[in-house]
């Protein structure tokens, strides 16, 4: 069992979800944290973590994903199946970045003892544990034909400018962008626009290749997305960037390189 949330590490909420899982599935169930440092309510950032992590998780695993700004509302809960792996959480767009084939089911409504402000513990954790024990449980659930999907954070090209969303800023201050190799095949960024002017980007394949200590690097990271980095320092701090922000990159069409 894997868990992803925006609960942080200062409260007992994560531990309570784990306790709910263990109470249902048994105390020998391994429960592994992906991260609990998603920005509060940032569904796209959580969707990025799911998309980058799931391919590396074992088939048959269940990931409990709880970033749920709509908790207590009429939004549904869902179970999803993607490439041999299950995801359980609210139906609010967390699965947006998962490509087909994707199967989804509606979770049962909350039980009478469920707190309306904590479905992560009282609804989703229980369902995730049940699914881990019995993957065939989905045969008793109603199919969810149209799960909520948010607008994917695709880059937008306009002349020599590419508008890009920052999916995540990691612990090192690297800014993971909504750009993949397919995008770079069309358009290659050369600089980033900032409030004080354009800053040149240095294309590299690894962090240690920086030509100078303050060079902003542009490279494809281990999660499959391109990122802005600063060797040994935080690119986010230097450029004043944050998750969810849209930035403008300037460059040229790849066929003119």
Domain end (from 105, 140, 175): 140
Residue 147, domain member (yes or no): no
In terms of domains, do 129 and 224 share one? Answer: no
CATH code of the domain covering residue 204: 2.40.30.90
pLDDT of residue 255: 58
In terms of domains, do 7 and 134 share one? Answer: yes
Domain end (from 83, 110, 140): 140
What's the sign of the alpha-carbon dihedral 186, 188, 191, 192? positive
In terms of domains, do 29 and 126 share one? Answer: yes
In terms of domains, do 98 and 9 share one? Answer: yes
d(CA 136, CA 122): 21
The residue segments making up the domain with residue 6 are 2-140
pLDDT of residue 3: 98
- pLDDT exceeds 90 at position 254: no
In terms of domains, do 100 and 37 share one? Answer: yes
Query: Token pair of 50, please?
Result: 């799911």
Nearest to 103 by CA among 118, 114, 88: 88
> If DSSP codes are grouped into helix, strand and coil, which group holds residue 189?
strand
Q: How many domains does the chain have?
A: 2
Q: Strand 77-82 and strand 246-253: pairing?
A: unpaired
Nearest to 62 by CA among 121, 102, 2: 2
Query: Sorting pLDDT into bands at 50, 70 and 90, what band is 247?
Result: very high
Residue 208, domain member (yes or no): yes
Q: What is the 8-class DSSP label of residue 156?
A: E
User: What confidence tens digit (pLDDT) does each residue in 4-28 have?
Assistant: 999 999 999 999 999 999 999 989 9
Who has greater pLDDT, 178 or 212?
178
Nearest to 75 by CA among 23, 150, 20: 150
pLDDT of residue 99: 86
- pLDDT exceeds 70 at position 257: no
In terms of domains, do 86 and 189 share one? Answer: no
In terms of domains, do 84 and 36 share one? Answer: yes
Domain end (from 140, 171, 197): 140
CATH code of the domain covering residue 133: 3.40.50.10790
């Amino acid at each position: 069992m894997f868990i992803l949330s925006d609960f942080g590490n200062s409260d007992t909420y994560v531990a309570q979800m784990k306790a709910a899982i263990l109470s249902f599935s048994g105390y020998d169930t391994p429960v592994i944290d992906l991260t609990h440092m998603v920005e509060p309510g940032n569904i796209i950032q959580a969707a990025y973590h799911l998309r980058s992590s799931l391919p590396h998780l074992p088939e048959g695993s269940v990931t409990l994903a709880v970033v749920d700004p709509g908790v207590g509302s009429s939004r549904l809960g869902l179970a999803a199946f993607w490439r041999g792996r299950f995801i359980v959480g609210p139906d609010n767009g967390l699965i947006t970045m998962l490509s087909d084939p994707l199967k989804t089911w509606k979770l049962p409504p909350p039980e009478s003892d469920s707190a309306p402000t904590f479905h992560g513990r009282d609804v989703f954790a229980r369902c995730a544990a049940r699914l881990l024990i019995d993957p065939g449980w989905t045969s008793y659930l109603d199919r969810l034909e149209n799960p909520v999907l948010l607008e994917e954070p695709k880059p937008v090209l306009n002349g020599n400018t590419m508008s890009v969303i920052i999916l995540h800023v990691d612990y090192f201050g690297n800014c993971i962008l909504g750009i993949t190799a397919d995008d770079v095949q069309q358009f290659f960024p050369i600089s980033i626009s900032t409030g004080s002017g354009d800053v040149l980007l240095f294309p590299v394949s690894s962090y240690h290749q920086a030509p100078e200590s303050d060079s902003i690097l542009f490279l494809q990271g281990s999660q499959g997305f391109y990122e802005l980095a600063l060797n040994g320092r935080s690119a986010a701090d230097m450029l004043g960037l944050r998750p969810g922000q849209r930035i403008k990159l300037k460059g040229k069409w790849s066929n003119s390189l």
